[in-house]
Amino acid sequence: MRFLLLPFLLITTFFTFSQRIVDTLETEEGTMLIYSNRTWSYVEDVNFDGIMNEQMHWDVTHDSLMKNFIQTWDTDICYTSQLKNDVNKIKDTIWMCVEDSLSDKFFMPTDGIVTSHFGWRRGRNHNGTDIDLNTGDTVYAAWSGKIRYSKYNTSGFGNLVVIRHDNGLETFYAHLSKLLVVPNQVVRAGDPIGLGGNTGHSRGSHLHFEVRFYDIPINPEKIIDFKKKKVLDENLIVTRSLFRAGSSSSSYATTSSGNKKYYRVRSGDTLGAIARRNRTSVSRLCQLNGIRPTTVLQIGRNLRVR
């Protein structure tokens, strides 16, 4: 893995921290620059394209309407698409595994109660869920991933951390009193990322927590049960309804979207059995889903059957 370790970057970093670099350290996450004031940062991996979930990204970019969706890796801006990704272009259904046995489980960002929900509030849309905390309380990464943004945001978030996750989502943690992570740092679910606070446009100490799909805000309560402190279902079916305010989503085996019909793969399913159950053929299933008869079906995958 090659890292961008050029003189101009070192000079820029020097002036940013107003401290000299006293050491470098090679870690699994990349090259770490250590400064004389005991702060540190990661040097950017020039080969990283920002894609954390290759399968989901393929599903998005091969959809005729969403193929122009933008999701770059930029540690200086809050929204890498400049909010140009249009939720109305999500006509199809995308399956996402929020957590599985191969990755870290979900971890509650903080232990408080929900004080404000996703939806219309005070004349504008509230794009996240507010959770009560005291200034100085530790805030944790909800899922494993990579820090994309960690600095003071002048648009109202105050001290803000954005994590892009292995499952393909991004989470926002706003109004922090202190940042404990830096861009390009790899974190695991449950790692401390900041301390709760009241910075930015905030009316008292709390955590403003957002979940976003390609910069489009999702109602967190359609993914997470905040009372039980766990995800509602490890399988997330992404449709336009997911981005609206309302009650939480429930799991299902078969669903329809317009004239299209989808089936979620369960343990023991085969293409032949799914075809018979849905009165279609294996060849038609393969055609609709871009797969082969020999494709191994992953439990939870969403197959189009009509």
Q: Which stretches in the chain have pLDDT values below 70?
A: 1-20, 22, 28-30, 36-39, 41, 44-46, 100-103, 246-259, 300
3-state class (DSSP) for residue 240: helix
Host H or E run for residue 94: strand 94-97
CA distances (Å), origin 71, targets 52, 85, 226: 11, 9, 28
Q: How many CB atoms lie within 10 A of CB 125?
A: 11
Instruction: Summarize pLDDT for 195-222 with one digit per residue, the tens.
Output: 999 999 998 999 999 999 999 999 999 9
Domains of the chain from N-terminus onward: 7-42 (no CATH), 52-90+100-246 (2.70.70.10), 254-304 (3.10.350.10)
3-state class (DSSP) for residue 13: helix
Contacts of 255 (CB under 8 A, 6+ apart): 93, 237, 261, 262, 264
Residue 221: per-residue pLDDT:
93
Q: Residue 12 gets which letter from DSSP? A: H
CA distances (Å), origin 299, targets 20, 63, 253: 51, 22, 11
Beta bridge partners of 95: 237
Measuring CA to CA, which residue among 265, 263, 216, 261 is closest to residue 242? Answer: 216
Tokens coding 42: 């990661």
Residue 249: per-residue pLDDT:
40
> From its phi and psi, is residue 82 left (phi > 0), alpha (psi between -120 and 50) or beta?
left
Residue 246: per-residue pLDDT:
61
pTM given for the model: 0.71
Under 8 Å between Cβ of 126 and 120: yes
Instruction: Summarize pLDDT for 138-168 with one digit per residue, the tens.
Output: 999 999 999 999 999 999 999 999 999 988 9
Host H or E run for residue 172: strand 170-176
